[in-house]
Every structure is written in structure tokens, then in C-alpha cells.
Amino acid sequence: SLNPAARKAYSRMEVLKLLRACKKCNFREHTVNTLRAAIILSYLRGMRREEIANIHPAHIDNRKGAASLLIPKTKTDTPRTIPLDWKTLTAARCLADTQSKRGLPTIMFSAKFKIVREKSGLPSGDFHCLRHSFMTWTAKKGLTPQQIASVSGHKTLSMVARYTHLEGTEVRDLL
């Protein structure tokens, strides 16, 4: 379990540092691409490690102008569909095309992400912080808690509030 004092939401610039750091680590190219795709999907769509690790090509609906990703098995046992733009569609395809039939080991995300975070120079946080970052980022964009919950898969608005880290000035600016 992550030390609560270390938990935070990453800024956009910090996520860019993480993505650059992936390339600086001595990982195989496949691992670099997988980690980068996982970071993109967690930060831009709030996906959990287990969901990312089990993306299958059949879950990607690539209709022009309305691409989406079906997550049939979630932590809350409620399937959901995540809208994809070109960046997240590319990341989902990368993961779907390269993973084994058993899925990607979620431990890889934790262990490798720690190395990437340290290489990036960021002092704290784990892979799950990307999910907090997604919810904070979408709240700053003005999405309602209900909209955030529909994409993140949270069943209660209190969980959305727990994951959203807004400062007073950010709330004021939205008003």
C-alpha cells in the first residue's frame, strides 16, 4: 500500500517527464512502449493497472470519429466503455497488439514505474497516482463529477471526490 503522504496527482509536465524517462531507462523497446502506452491510458483515461493489463484487440471499437474501448472486467464488476482519441487509441492498440493471451503482469507496472519515476526526478508517487491525475485534470477542465465517474468507473461521487485534488484557486477559476 502506498504511503498516503506520498500520494498525489501528477501535473501535465510531470507526466511528460515520466514519458521521457521511459526512454532513458535500460528497458527493452517493448517494455518502453508498453509503459508509455500504460502511462498514457492511465493519465488520459483514468484506467486501472488491471484494466490496462487485460486490453484485448476485440475490446477496441475503431469506428471513424467515435473510437472506444470496452472494459468488460472492472474492479467494480460493472463493464464500461471509454472514449478514445487518436493518442489513447494508439496506446490501446499498442497494448492489445503486444500482450500475451494472459495479459500483461500488473507487477510490471509497479516495479518498472518506480524506476521510471526515479529516473524522471520526481520525488514521490506510484502508477496509481496517474488515475488521481486523470480525475483532477478532468475536473479542472470542467467535467461534472457524474461525467468523471462514468469514465473512471467509480460508483459513488464520494470516490470521485477522494480522487480529485483541486486547490481553492482552481475551483474559483471554474466559477
Residue 173 has pLDDT above 70, yes or no: no
Q: Could you identify the residue written with the cell 474501448?
A: 69
- Which of 21-30, 37-46, 147-156 is least confident? 147-156
Indicate left, alpha or beta for 122 from its phi (over 0: left) and psi (-120 to 50: alpha): beta
Which comes out higher in pLDDT, residue 3 or 29?
29
Residue 9 has pLDDT above 70, yes or no: yes
- Which of 40-44, 119-123, 152-156 is least confident? 152-156
pLDDT above 70: percentage of residues in the chain:
83
Of 139, 132, 109, 123, nearest in space to 37 by CA:
109
- What cell numbers appear for 170 in the block? 482552481
pLDDT tens-digit series, residues 120-134: 999 888 898 998 899
Q: Could you identify the residue written with the cell 502506452?
A: 37
Residue 1 has pLDDT above 50, yes or no: no
Q: Report the side by side order of strands in the sheet with 68-71.
A: 60-61, 68-71, 80-83
Residue 5 has pLDDT above 90, yes or no: no
